Chain A
Amino acid sequence: MQEHYGIALAFGAVAFLLMYMGFIIQKLIAPNNKTELKMDTYECGEEPEGDGWLQFNIRFYVVALIFIIFDIEVVFLFLWAVVFKELGFLTFVEVFVFMAILIVGLAYAWVKGDLDWVKMKLKYGTGRYSAARLHEAETK
Chain B
Amino acid sequence: MIQSLANWILSFDILAGLGNPIAWGLSLFIVSALIFVFVAVNAIVLVYIERKVSAFMQVRLGPMRVGKFGSLQTVADALKLLQKEDIIPRSADKILFLIGPWVILVASVVTFAAIPFSDTLLAADMSIGLFYVVSISSIVVLGIVMAGWASNNKWSLYGAMRSAAQIISYEIPVGITLIAVVAVVGSLNLQTIVQAQGGTGNLFYWIPLPLPNWFIFHSPFLFLAAFIYLIGATAEINRTPFDIPESESELVAGFMTEFSGLRWALFFLSEYANATLVAFLVAIIFLGGWQSPFSNYAGAQIGFSILTLLAVMWTLFVKAKTQRLSFYPLGLSLMITIAAWLFPGFAIWLASPGLFWMLIKVGSVIFLLMWFRWTFPRLRVDQLMYVSWKVILPISLFNLMGVAVWMWLTGEIHF
**A, B co-complexed:** yes
| A residues whose Cβ falls under 8 Å from a Cβ of B | 1, 3-5, 7-16, 18-19, 22-23, 25-27, 29-34, 38-44, 48, 51-54, 56, 60, 63-64, 66-67, 70-71, 74, 77-78, 80-86, 88-89, 92, 96, 99, 103, 106, 110, 115-118
A interface footprint on B23-43 (CB within 8 Å = 1, 0 otherwise): 000001100110111010000
* A15 adjacent to B179 (CB under 8 Å): no
Residues of B near A3 (CB, < 8 A) are 124
* B32 adjacent to A30 (CB under 8 Å): no
A45 to B287, CA, bound (A): 49
Residues of B near A103 (CB, < 8 A) are 397
A60 to B162, CA, bound (A): 8
A103 to B401, CA, bound (A): 13
A interface footprint on B10-53 (CB within 8 Å = 1, 0 otherwise): 00000000000000000011001101110100000000000000
Given A52-B151, A83-B186, A67 and B29 contact (CB-CB distance below 8 Å): no
Residues of A near B413 (CB, < 8 A) are 84-85, 88
Given A11-B113, A29-B83, A39-B90, A23 and B262 contact (CB-CB distance below 8 Å): yes
Of A11, A22, A29, most buried by chain B (CB within 10 Å of CB) is A11
Which of B32, B84, B154, B168 is close to A54, meaning CB atoms less than 8 Å apart? B154
A99 to B393, CA, bound (A): 12
* B123 adjacent to A106 (CB under 8 Å): no
A60 to B157, CA, bound (A): 13
Is B85 interfacial (CB 8 A cutoff)? yes
Of A7, A34, A80, most buried by chain B (CB within 10 Å of CB) is A7
Residues of A near B179 (CB, < 8 A) are 74, 77-78, 80-81
Which of B2, B91, B109, B183 is close to A12, meaning CB atoms less than 8 Å apart? B109
Q: A5-B124, A11-B32, A52-B154 are in contact. List 18 more A-B contacts (CB 8 A).
A: A4-B126, A8-B114, A10-B29, A11-B112, A15-B35, A30-B84, A31-B85, A38-B87, A41-B151, A41-B152, A43-B153, A52-B91, A53-B152, A81-B183, A81-B186, A92-B415, A99-B400, A117-B382
* B89 adjacent to A29 (CB under 8 Å): no
Is B149 interfacial (CB 8 A cutoff)? yes
* B110 adjacent to A11 (CB under 8 Å): yes
Residues of B near A70 (CB, < 8 A) are 172, 393
Is B175 interfacial (CB 8 A cutoff)? yes
A interface footprint on B373-415 (CB within 8 Å = 1, 0 otherwise): 0000000011011100110011001001100100000001111
Q: How far is the CB of A118 from chain B (nearest CB, A)?
A: 5
Residues of A near B389 (CB, < 8 A) are 66, 106, 110, 115
| B residues whose Cβ falls under 8 Å from a Cβ of A | 2, 28-29, 32-33, 35-37, 39, 82-92, 102, 105-106, 109-110, 112-114, 123-127, 131-132, 136, 149, 151-157, 161, 164-165, 168-169, 171-172, 175-176, 179-180, 182-183, 186-188, 252, 257-258, 261-262, 265-266, 269, 381-382, 384-386, 389-390, 393-394, 397, 400-401, 404, 412-415
A25 to B83, CA, bound (A): 9
* A106 adjacent to B393 (CB under 8 Å): yes
A118 to B28, CA, bound (A): 51
* A60 adjacent to B172 (CB under 8 Å): no
* A30 adjacent to B109 (CB under 8 Å): no
A96 to B269, CA, bound (A): 42
A29 to B413, CA, bound (A): 64
Which of A7, A10, A51, A71 is close to B171, meaning CB atoms less than 8 Å apart? A71
Q: Could you pull out 13 A-B pairs where Cβ atoms are within 8 angstroms?
A: A5-B126, A11-B110, A14-B32, A33-B85, A41-B92, A41-B153, A48-B91, A52-B156, A77-B175, A78-B175, A99-B397, A106-B393, A117-B386
* A81 adjacent to B182 (CB under 8 Å): yes
Given A7-B2, A11-B123, A26-B86, A42 and B153 contact (CB-CB distance below 8 Å): yes
Which of A12, A40, A85, A106 is close to B90, meaning CB atoms less than 8 Å apart? A40
Residues of B near A110 (CB, < 8 A) are 389-390
Select from chain A the residue with minimum beta-carbon distance to B29.
Answer: A14
